[in-house]
Copies of this chain bind each other. A is one copy, B any other.
Amino acid sequence: MFTLLQTDPQSKARRGRLETRHGVIETPIFMPVGTQGSVKAVSPNELREVGAQIILGNTYHLFVRPGMQVMRHFGGLHRFMAWDGPILTDSGGFQVFSLAKLRKITEEGVHFQNHLDGAPCFLGPREAMEIQATLGSDICMLFDECPPYPCEHASAAESLARTLRWAARCQEVETPGLKFGIVQGSSYSDLRRESAEALVALGFDGYAVGGVSVGEPEPEMMKAVEASEPWLPADKPRYAMGLGTPPQMVEMVARGIDMFDCVLPTRLARNGTAFTARGTISLKNAPFIFDQGPIEEGCTCAACRQFTRGYLRHLVKSEEILGLRLISLHNLHFYLSLMTRIRQAIEAGTFAEFRREFVAGYRHDAPQSVTSL
């Protein structure tokens, strides 16, 4: 289902193709995040216009609301949200540990109170996979425990052991879509290797690096990926979960990663921040008041084709929804175009040059860091 088309001679960058039940995905790829069954402020038609090949849905959120009775009634997430392209669903593990309250972890899974009304809920490996089957997910993520950062070696090892036992249980549940294992192990290279090797021994359709973008410094994030990747098979896709900034993604591609997801493009847009090749700009800033140029010169997105920075600044300052809509579109277009350029550079054998120039041109100011959010 995954075809490795080309590898970069100067880095671990890969050009690949992943076939799913709802279509083919050209990798490396960025996946817009549609947590609650909607990529925030963006319609399915607009997702197609900005070139989204696959989007994310979230098991935890959809399980809590609208609930599985509704999802079953509507025949799954694709029909519910009117998106007929591929969908990857998070397993809910990360959210149970970051959003829910009063957790109690057992060998069977996690008892918790949901973040909406505090109702008692339970999610375990079996439940998470069954939910993803009900959602009709094209790529189901295994139910894992995501330890916080920092984490002692002993706790990380204990957590990893449980995650691996859960992985075996997840494997037993039949799902219509592909199944991706999630490498954990916190900041510890020995645990990352152990995790990767154990998952590969079980055998999944793809492998994710989890427990990154959870508050650790960027070098730690890179290290976690570098410690996991060598133990993953070349003929399966690799997915770095929940990141990142544009240069982080370029660097991750150079380290052998094929897939990304991140809320940054839409979340920063709602705060008036737009991505450009030279870094982020805050359209709230006074210098844009009289600016008649687009967000980024040469950009072909719907926002840049029609609207000026001056107008967008006015919309953001006036808290008009159209402002965050247009910046969301631009930011998603930026992320997806970056992936297109990465794929073209790998194909043309110019990825090393592209990587050097892109990363050097991108200003690293505070708002560009995932971890500062």
Interfacial residues, chain A to chain B (CB-CB below 8 A): 36-38, 40-45, 65-66, 70, 73-74, 80-82, 289-290, 292, 306-308, 310-311, 314-315, 317-318, 320-326
Contact = CB atoms under 8 A, between A and B. Distances in A.
Given A70-B289, A306-B44, A314-B66, A38 B82 contact: no
Given A74-B310, A80-B311, A307-B82, A321 B289 contact: no
Nearest to A329: B43
Contact of A314 (B37, B317, B323): B37
Contact of A325 (B44, B65, B306, B321): B321
Nearest to A266: B321
B308 A74 contact: yes
Contact of A38 (B73, B80, B289, B322): B322
B65 A306 contact: no
A65 to B, nearest CB: 6
Contacts of A321: 38, 40-41, 321, 324-325
B320 A81 contact: no
B292 A322 contact: no
A325 B317 CA distance: 19
B74 A320 contact: no
B36 A320 contact: yes
Contacts of A66: 289, 310, 314, 317
A368 B371 CA distance: 47
A324 to B, nearest CB: 7
29 contacts: A36-B320, A37-B314, A37-B318, A38-B318, A38-B320, A38-B321, A38-B323, A40-B322, A41-B321, A41-B322, A42-B322, A43-B322, A65-B314, A65-B317, A65-B318, A66-B310, A66-B317, A70-B314, A73-B310, A74-B292, A74-B310, A80-B308, A80-B314, A81-B311, A82-B306, A82-B307, A82-B311, A321-B321, A325-B325
